[in-house]
Amino acid sequence: MKELPNPTFPLSPVSLPRGSLHRPDPAGSPALAQGGRGGIQVSWAKHLDEVRQAQRLRFEVFAGEMGARLETTLAGHDIDLFDDYCEHLLVRDELTQEVVGTYRVLTPAQARRVGGTYSDTEFDLTRLRSLRARMVELGRSCVHPEHRHGGVILALWGALAEFMVRNQLDTMIGCASIPMLHNGVVSGQAAASIWNQVRQTHLAPIEYHVLPRLALPVAELDGTLEVEPPALIKGYLRLGAKVLGAPAWDPDFNTADLPMLMRIADLPPRYRKHFLGV
């Protein structure tokens, strides 16, 4: 096993607030970290082989399931230049130790080292320059098909919230993807419709608006479809996230990407108590 370089910030063992790995909570909802075949474990990757497990999961989902065209240096793995600069958060099935969920986190210091964020490649983020000193980028969110339930996502978010507070960071950004495939047809109409929905209710103040480098031509598409946003986007919005502008088109992943920003201060009280205990 190859040791990773010392992380930018100390990665203490992840603690899961309000609940255990196995018991349902008193309200009767599924356990925060309940896996499909048993409990789940959350940790930060400390070795390269652990990162490789996350990259294999990403390849299976993005290329195998979503049909993304990925240029990779290792067959069967989703790898890009940002991976070496990121911290990788892993969720494992407790019984099999298989990685079933992952996020990667690019800290401000590491973003400066690599020259920017992945989001910078899709959007002009000039208006966010005042936030960058305490801003992390979340990316490559991915969950195994057999584990797509609230427990895995909540466990990831709980660990991310702890990481942010412990390291005095307050802002998260990222590109939230909308598949271009709708009713079996490759089309941007679903993405245009979702954009028209969220711009009415969750658009950030104009001083934080960003511009796509390769814009989805939303004005030329039917944006009136009754279609729900993907579950991850709906989850971000429930957590107080804001949309920063119109979607970009990512031809390699065959998605429309919404630029999103989430701040710890904007967490609704119930989620603040759940994730942070305050």
Instruction: Give the tens place of pLDDT for each residue, 112-167.
Output: 999 999 999 999 999 999 999 999 999 999 999 998 877 888 889 999 999 999 99
Q: Is 167 exposed, middle or buried (0-12, 13-18, 19+ CB in 10 A)?
A: middle
Q: Is 33 exposed, middle or buried (0-12, 13-18, 19+ CB in 10 A)?
A: buried
Which pLDDT belongs to residue 241? 97
Cβ–Cβ under 8 Å, residues 189 and 182: yes
Which pLDDT belongs to residue 21? 31
Enter the tokens of residue 2. 């190859």
Cβ–Cβ under 8 Å, residues 267 and 251: no
Backbone angles phi, psi at 244, to 5 degrees: -95, -5
Which pLDDT belongs to residue 22? 32
Q: Which CATH number fits domain 40-276: 3.30.450.40, 3.10.28.10, 3.30.830.10, 3.40.630.30?
A: 3.40.630.30
Enter the tokens of residue 230. 């993907």
Entry pTM: 0.86
Domain limits, the chain:
40-276
- Could you list the mean pLDDT of each consecutive 10-residue stretch along the chain, which spans 278 residues? 47 41 32 53 95 96 88 92 97 94 96 97 97 97 88 90 94 94 77 96 97 96 92 92 97 93 94 85
